Each structure stands twice: as structure tokens, then as C-alpha cells.
Amino acid sequence: MNRRRADAGALRPRPLLADPDGFDPALPLWLRRIQAARTTAPADLTLDLAGLPPPALRGIDAAVELLVRALAEQRRILVIGDFDADGATSTALALLGLRACGGRQVDFLVPNRFEYGYGLTPEIVALAATRGPDLIVTVDNGISSIAGVAAAQAAGIRVLITDHHLPGAELPAANAIVNPNQPGCDFPHKGLAGVGVMFYLLAALRARLQANRWFAEQGIAEPVLADWLDLVALGTVADVAPLERLNRILVHQGLRRIRAGRARPGVLALLALANRDHRHAVAADLGFAVGPRLNAAGRLDDMGLGIRCLLAESAAEAHGLAAQLDELNRDRRAIEAQMQREAEQQLERLRLGDDLPWGLCLFDPDWHQGVVGLLAGRVRERSQRPTIAFAAAGEELKGSARSIPGLHIRDALERVAARRPGLIRRFGGHAAAAGLTLAAENFEGFSAAFDAVVRELLAPEDLELRLLHDGELAPDQLNLDSARLLAAAGPWGQHFPEPVFVGEFRVRDARPVGRTHLKLRLVGGAGDDELEAIAFNALEEGEQPCLAASIRVLYRLDINRFRGDERLQLLIEHFL
């Protein structure tokens, strides 16, 4: 039982105000204190669509002009997306929106990651050109595609880039760029996911078409963008975008539509296959159930399958495509489990020295290109170190990086590239995650250079596990009503974390369920009322639990729903 063990010294309480002002007095004090620990502005908790700021992004007027002209002249528009959930939802949203605005020649193309790599490369432009597009619209990519945009322009194809990744020193010479992170963009909400950028572009396009009386003249209904907020919510959560107020509004409103059954048939089908009731969907269901199934297509096969699932108009069609995605996800889990075992063996060999490197680089020639990002994330969680996992891609190595708080991983790669020119062939990303390509013979040199840069940018205490919690709940607060209040106070996620509590309980029973999960019956406080609890992936396969009579744990409140019955359940995060 070492997977969920943590040193009590890693505990860090969140600062909680004694009596926060301005927060809803109808809520219990303990919940108001939790909210105040996550935002100092009570207005940030108002998540109506009226709170969305206007689409004042740099380049958006030029982008709208391109689209208005393409629609008026019925030009061929080709949307080129990324091969993850944000890219899939961005692509589906772009197609739905542009078609609803009157586009009759709108199609999509997603590069196969194993053949063409990431972004608008010259090779994918050559493939796109066989379809004769007049305008290429990138979604969730393109800000670093200098050569690809040049190839498109040389072929007489206009390019509109929509992206959210951090740009390099040079921007591509596209006809228009919409990216809140590009230089000179004063839009304050830099954390938009790619699907959020596309949502804003469609909002600006609809406004322009309304002003031009386009919809009336064409005899088509004006699209209701809110109808597609389920896609925006899914892409935002799956891409682990920061849940600042703008993103919280988008996710909250998308979840409302999912719960009401007004989502895309593909989203509802993926929830059903993950045994999630859409009527009670929360952000975590999108991040841990729907997102991985959608991502499985891009990781193992072709994200076109995921996009077709999101575009499906009937429940029957959506279910068939979702079932294929679910099967791919099962394959992905098996591949990932094997890679995790091999990565652990590499870590054990690295530990034979004085200590692990501060910046970890792992490689195995048999590792799957589409799964190394997940592997890097798992190793990062266990080691508390920035981690890059590499897979072979011909004579190159393709790496996926995941960072820890305090280290901007793209900036770290840029420092390596500046110090050792030619060591990295290509790289891109943002603060928490990045991708890169090396020549195979440069792996050892890069590993040493990366470790050296990480040691410059971090202090020893940054490598210590820090478990933030929101204090203890009183026995009379450990109930179903508290769990319902927390669910209603969401969405929770990146930069607006779901509350985690610390507590001590007596163990009545502990037994394994499934292959690696631990089910418990606990008693807390002075009373004798039992509480259900579960710790996922707390056991090795075949391991029997061995717990003391009393345990101290970090946990979250959850609602266990079964056949119409609702019961409180504690989700144990760590044993202390």
C-alpha cells in the first residue's frame, strides 16, 4: 500500500479566512472560507453568460473579415486541428459554427501524429492542398508553424490561425492570427483553451454577420452559440486550462447543458460508456472519463474518429463511434500500464546514484509515441520532478514534457536550446506541458543539459511533495448535504482546486475491490455512524490491505449514486 502513502510533513493547509466578507451568507461558513481561499473577488463566483467579456482579441477583426469573405464567396474552408481533446472539440465547434453560418464547403483534416507530427507542417499543407481549399483555419495549433504557413501561402491558400499556445520569437506570416498569448494582445484572459478561442471567434463572426443582415438575406436561422458550450466545457477541462472566471463560466454553462441532456449526442454517449450519469455531470467527469476516451483516438489511431463522434447527429451513430473510442481507451490503458512498469525500472536504476536527476528524461525504444505524455505525467506525480518521456520516431526521438509548480517547462526548453544550439530540433508548449524532437544521438546530451537547467531554475524545496488541504470537517459536516453543496459550488479544476480535507477515522472494514482499489468502512468523530470510503489504485494487484485501527487521510467528499439511491462517499487521496 505505497501508492497512496504520503509523509505527513508534506501537508500544507490553505490559508482560510476566519469570516470572509462579501460571499453568499446563505452558504455555511466552512464553504465560504473555501471559496475565499480560491478567489478574493466574490463576483468571480457569478457564472452567468452575461459575465463573459467581449471578444476583444488581437487579430479577431482580420479573422472575421477572412471568414465573411469566404462565406460570401462560398470558398472551400479546411479546418486543421490538433490530435487531442482540445483539438477535437475545437475542430467540431469550428465545423458546426461555420456550417451554421452558411458555409457549404467546410471540412476538416487532422494530421496523423505518427506520419505528420504536430501542427501545420509543410507536409500537412501538401496533403491539404489535394482538397483544393481556399482558406485553412487552424485550431489549437499553428502559432509556431512558420514553414507550414509559408508553404500554404506559396500554394495560394490563405491561412487563419487560432491557437492558445505560447508563440516563439517569430510569428508565422498568416493572413490573421487569433491567440490571446500573441504579442500585443490585450485580452486579459490568457488561459483560454483552443476551443475557447474558437468560441470567441465564432461569437465575433456571428455579430458581424448579424450587422450585415447575412442571416436574413440567406434565409437561415442565426446560430445559438450557447448550444455548443458542452464542447467548449469538454475541451477546456480536458486541456487542463486554468479555471479563472472566464473559463469557469464556459465550463459551468456547458455542464448545465449536459445535465439537461442538451449536449452533442457524442458527448452523452461517451459519458454513458464511462458509466457517468449526464444528469449529475461535473468537471471531473469531463476530465477523467470523457477526455481520455476522446484522446485515445489521437494517441493510438486517428483523431478523425473522435471528431466524427462529436459531430454525430443521432444517438445511434454517436454510440457506435463512442464504443470504438472506448475500446481504444482500453488499449491505451494496457499500453500505459506496461510503460509505467518499465519507467519505474529506469527510475530504480537512476536511484542507484546519490539522487534522482532534478530534470528527468526517460526513453525506451518500444514506448508508444501517443502515450509518452501520459507517462511523463505519472512519473512527474510520483517523483515530484519535471519529466520528459521519449519515444522513437524513425531516426528522431519525440518527447512529451510535464512540469511541476515553479518551473515553466517551455521556458526551460528554450534555455536549453539557446545554450546548446542544434540539440533540440523542434519544441513548443506552455508552462505545464510541452513537446519536443531530438536526434536520437542527442538524448544523453539533452538529458544532462535539461537537468542542469532545472537545477538552475528550482530550489531543493521545490522538489518536495506539497499536499494542500482545506482543514478538517466537523462530524456534523460529514454528510450528503455538504457533498451536494460542494458539487453545486463548482466547477472545480486547475487553479480552482476541488476541496481536500484532512481527518482521522477508525477502520471498521477494508477490502480490495476491482484489481487495485480499496473499499473501506470508517467511523469518524465521537459518534458511531459509519462512512463509506474508497481509495482508487491504492493496492498492487493481488495485494491485501493492511491498515492500522485508526488512519489519518486526505479525502474529498463525493456522492455515490446507485439505482436512484444517493450516499455520501469519501474519496481518499492520500494515507498519512
Q: For the segment 553-563, what is each residue's pLDDT rounded down to a tens digit?
A: 999 999 999 88
pLDDT tens per residue across span 118-137: 789 999 999 999 999 999 99
pLDDT at 575 over 90: yes
Taking the mean position of all CA atoms in its chain, how far away is CA 405?
A: 16
From 34, 28, 26, 47, select the one nearest 482 (Cα to Cα).
Answer: 28
For 447, the grid coordinates are 538529458
Question: Which residues pair with residue 159 across a beta bridge?
Answer: 136
Render the burial of 451-479: b for 16+ CB within 10 Å, e for the rest: bbbbeebbeeebbebebebbbebeeebbe
Report pTM.
0.93
Q: Domain extents for the chain?
A: 8-37+470-575, 53-326, 354-463
Q: What is the pLDDT of residues 162-201, one digit of tens each?
A: 999 989 889 999 999 999 999 999 999 999 999 999 999 9
What is the per-residue pLDDT for 529? 84
Query: Mean pLDDT across the chain, nearest whole number?
Result: 94
Q: Is the confidence at residue 531, as pLDDT, over 90?
A: yes
Structure confidence at residue 401 as a pLDDT band (50, 70, 90): very high
Q: What is the pLDDT of residue 507?
A: 95
- How far is residue 413's CA from residue 403's CA, in Å, rounded to a whole number? 11
pLDDT of the residue at 526: 63
Task: Determine the pLDDT at residue 431.
Answer: 85
CATH architecture of 354-463: Roll (3.10)
C-alpha cell at 510: 477494508
Give me the pLDDT at residue 353, please. 58
- Residue 430: per-residue pLDDT: 81
How far apart (Å, rounded) are the C-alpha atoms in residues 434 and 458? 18
Residue 536 has pLDDT above 60, yes or no: yes
Mean pLDDT of the region 537-559: 91
Q: Is the pLDDT of residue 442 over 90?
A: yes
pLDDT at residue 4, as a whole number: 62
CATH number of 53-326: 3.90.1640.30
Range 47-70 average pLDDT: 97
Q: What is the CATH number of domain 8-37+470-575?
A: 2.40.50.460
